[in-house]
Amino acid sequence: MAAEREPPPLGDGKQADFEELEDGEDLFTSTVSTLESSPSSPEPASLPAEDLSTNSNGPKPAEIILDDDREDLFAEATEEVSLDSPEREPILSPEPSPAITPITPTTLMAPRIESKSMSAPVIFDRSRDEIEEEANGDVFDIEIGVSDPEKVGDGMNAYMAYRVTTKTSLSMFNKNEFSVKRRFSDFLGLHSKLATKYLHVGYIVPPAPEKSIVGMTKVKVGKEDSSSTEFVEKRRAALERYLQRTVKHPTLLQDPDLRQFLESSELPRAVNTQALSGAGILRMVNKAADAVNKMTIKMNESDAWFEEKQQQFENLDQQLRKLHASVEALVCHRKELSANTAAFAKSAAMLGNSEDHTALSRALSQLAEVEEKIDQLHQEQAFADFYVFSELLSDYIRLIAAVKGVFDHRMKCWQKWDDAQITLQKKREAEAKMMLANKPDKIQQAKNEIREEIEEWEAKVQQGERDFEQISKTIRKEVGRFEKERVKDFKTVIIKYLESLVQTQQQLIKYWEAFLPEAKAIA
Amino acid sequence: MTTLTEIKLLPTLILLVSCEYLAIFKKTVAMHEVFLCRVAAHPILRKDLNFHVFLEYNQDLSVRGKNKKEKLEDFFKNMVKSADGVIVSGVKDVDDFFEHERTFLLEYHNRVKDASAKSDRMTRSHKSAADDYNRIGSSLYALGTQDSTDVCKFFLKVSELFDKTRKIEARVSADEDLKLSDLLKYYLRESQAAKDLLYRRSRSLVDYENANKALDKARAKNKDVLQAETSQQVCCQKFEKISESAKQELIDFKTRRVAAFRKNLVELAELELKHAKGNLQLLQSCLAVLNGDT
């Protein structure tokens, strides 16, 4: 947290409170809004032109004011991308768009300190409560909508294009409202890029919606029936939720790839996301390798917190899956009920027609009408069952898989560190042995070599330890944020779902109250 | 953990099973009552000795079920009847009333059959949905007991809600079954019985017409005239008698049908209302608690 680095003018007493804020980034993003609003905040003109937007809509101090943590992150990111290190998922080399150059820490350091010192008094003058409130509340003034699915092309090469509309007041974007057309593989590409950059350092990257060969084939073939419209709608809603979740993440929101995805009208096609592409197969192989690897890593867990959390997530995963299965069954039965009610309505209408007693005949027709309306009601309720409740559960099941992935990365990180320590130990032993042996001619050169190697491995051990601590720290923060989001999400969804049930019952009451006098009127 | 949940749910399980039993019991009782009331209301059947014995004898009746031979007899009788029915139904009836009744009953019977089947399916779907609520409730309970954040209160409250809602939904299904499905099933059988009555009358009409033809032939040949005359008279009497009682029965059938439908539809609507209101209240009070928490 920056509070630890640059001594805040507030003094030590307030430091503890800053640590309460779970996300340092939150603080700084709120800084953005303060900076934006206060006319006195200077727009540091010295910001580098490599800034991520092409127009001069003012500099964006937000992304510049980085946590030290994130500096390290990007250093590593640029490093790792060039090396083909095995533990990184070589999903794809993030296709660098020409408009964007990777952020390098050095260029960011200078302006940061400048603007920080200028703006520092502005932040710290505000009351702590305000800042906390903003940090915990909806500071991310950005709304994403995915709409208007449109079929593009014909036959097996056809695809659905979705309109992604962003409404925001954040200055990091060029405009306040803009929209672009994206296809499903674009979303997968975005996720891929984000996962590559952030998963292995402990950030929980929201997973993209799942592919469905069956569903898409139906759409491509051009079947205009209700199941393919349902499929498209399900996908559209899932894509919307995916983006909304992604932009809620303060770190991911700053990512240039995300911004490019939302803003630029042309996006290079992410071909490596196809399941059967070379990259896809490589992915599958890596996944399998990872699974095996996981079983063989034996980590000395020094921190009980991690063990506890992992167990908790395991339990949560199991329970959510069970609940999801039950809710899916409910959706299915409700749809059945709706269909059966519709069939009954028709049948009752026919019966009413044959009935030769006039009043009874009319009552039966009324019954048929009531049942028809009720069938509609059931359909709508099934809709709510699914989109409100069931989809949330499946989203969270996938999210928890991402969380588990992050824990796994930490283990791998530990292993790397451990391996480095072991190698270092071996080298040291080799050196010691060499010292004891007496071969004067070879010894000097060999000694130098070994010395060099030892130094190299000492550095690696240090780096490994730093990485491990970093990822552990990040995970703690991320899990805290995740849990908060989870609680909020579930509370909101449960209330929304119950409200849908309330509506259904209210309608039912209306319908039966209208029917009752008709039934009584039979004479 | 699962065993603990199961143990906690045991009393609910017992209640569920007894609710089911009660629902089925209610159904059977209702049907029997309707049957007995009908017999008692019938001018002729009410005088039947068997009926009196049934109502009064205070010891075990030990009714013997049909043995294999009798069941086989029944089967053949049915076969003959349906074959004959096809032949007989070809005969046109001079009497408008009966002609109308025949067309009406044919169509009505088929449509009641269809409605009865669809109503059954609808009721069953309702029950499946109610069962799902049960499972959702227990999953939510498990989630609630495990969760360490304050969303656990939500889970537990909603789990409670689903348990209660489930009972109501099950009753909705049971009531629909009782008031709608059973009603339709009953009238399916009633309309079949009416059709059978019409068949018997048509049968006797055919017999009467055949006797007439035989009489004419006898008179023409001047052979066995007396015999033919008596036979014709017997058929005529039978026919007129059956026509008279059939007419009355069919009129009664209509009256009863209208009354039964009225009673059941009114009761159905009232029960649906009661349950919907009950559900609504549960949902709204749960929402109030949850909203108060956030």
Average model confidence (pLDDT) across chain A: 74
Residue A240 pLDDT greater than 50, yes or no: yes
Nearest CA in chain B to A338: B122
Average model confidence (pLDDT) across chain B: 86
pLDDT at A507: 95
Q: What confidence tens digit (pLDDT) does each residue in A313-368 have?
A: 999 999 999 999 999 999 999 999 999 999 999 999 999 999 989 999 999 999 99
Nearest CA in chain B to A490: B151
Note whether B2 contacts A: Cβ–Cβ < 8 A: no
**Residues in B touching A499 (Cβ below 8 Å):** 287
> Cβ A486–B158 below 8 Å, yes or no?
no
Nearest to A505 among B122, B139, B283 (CB): B283
**ipTM field:** 0.80
Note whether B148 contacts A: Cβ–Cβ < 8 A: yes
More confident residue, A294 or B220: B220
**What are phi and psi for residue A151, nearest 5 degrees?**
-85, 130
Q: Which of A63-67, A136-140, A451-455 has the lowest mean pLDDT?
A: A63-67
Q: Which positions ≥6 away from A384 have C-beta within 8 Å?
A: A497, A500, A501
Instruction: Please report which confidence band the pLDDT of residue A439 belongs to, taking 50, 70 and 90 as the band edges.
Output: low
Q: How many CB pairs under 8 A join A and B?
A: 159
Structure tokens at A476: 């703690």
pLDDT at A438: 66
Q: Where are the domains of chain A?
A: 137-273, 303-522
Nearest to A323 among B139, B268, B272 (CB): B139
pLDDT at B292: 83
* CA distance to partner chain A, nearest, from residue B142 (Å): 7
**What are phi and psi for residue A104, nearest 5 degrees?**
-110, 140
- DSSP line for A166-223: EEE--TTSSSSEEEEEEEHHHHHHHHHHHHHHHGGGT--PPPPPPP-HHHHHHHHHT-
pLDDT at A39: 40
Q: Which of B97, B136, B140, B188 to mutate to test the interface with A (most CBs of A within 10 A)?
A: B136
Q: Which of A10-24, A242-256, A455-469 has the lowest mean pLDDT?
A: A10-24
More confident residue, A21 or B11: B11
- Map out the domains of chain B with their CATH numbers: 96-291 (1.20.1270.60)
> Cβ A327–B121 below 8 Å, yes or no?
no
**Beta bridge mates, B105:** none
Burial A235-267 (b: 16+ CB within 10 A, else e): bbebbbbbbbbbbbbbbbbbbbbbbbbbbbeeb
Q: What confidence tens digit (pLDDT) does each residue in A89-99 have?
A: 333 333 433 33
Q: What confidence tens digit (pLDDT) does each residue in A202-238 have?
A: 899 999 988 877 777 777 776 667 777 888 889 999 9
* CA distance to partner chain B, nearest, from residue A344 (Å): 5
> Cβ A355–B108 below 8 Å, yes or no?
yes
Enumerate residues 80 to 109 of chain B having a beta carbon within 8 A of any beta carbon in chain A: 104, 107-108
* CA distance to partner chain B, nearest, from residue A467 (Å): 30
| Domain at A137-273: CATH code | 3.30.1520.10
Enumerate residues 232 to 261 of chain B having a beta carbon within 8 A of any beta carbon in chain A: 254, 257-258, 261
pLDDT at A442: 67
> Cβ B286–A498 below 8 Å, yes or no?
yes
pLDDT at A16: 39
> Cβ B294–A495 below 8 Å, yes or no?
yes
Note whether B265 contacts A: Cβ–Cβ < 8 A: yes
* CA distance to partner chain B, nearest, from residue A402 (Å): 19
Residue type, A119: S
More confident residue, A181 or B36: A181
> Cβ A512–B142 below 8 Å, yes or no?
no
pLDDT at A280: 67
Alpha helices (runs of H) in A38-99, residue ranges in sequence order: 61-64, 68-82
- Mark the ranges of chain B whose per-residue pLDDT is less than 70: 1-2, 16, 19, 85-94, 293-294
Residue A108 pLDDT greater than 60, yes or no: no
**Residues A75-83, mean pLDDT to the nearest whole number:** 38
> Cβ B129–A330 below 8 Å, yes or no?
yes
* CA distance to partner chain A, nearest, from residue B172 (Å): 12
pLDDT more than 70, % of chain A: 67
Nearest to A340 among B121, B148, B161 (CB): B121
Residue A129 pLDDT greater than 50, yes or no: no
Enumerate residues 157 to 176 of chain B having a beta carbon within 8 A of any beta carbon in chain A: 158, 161, 165
pLDDT at A275: 59
Q: Domain A303-522 has what CATH class? A: mainly alpha
Q: What confidence tens digit (pLDDT) does each residue in A366-412 have?
A: 999 999 999 999 999 998 888 889 999 999 999 999 999 999 999 98
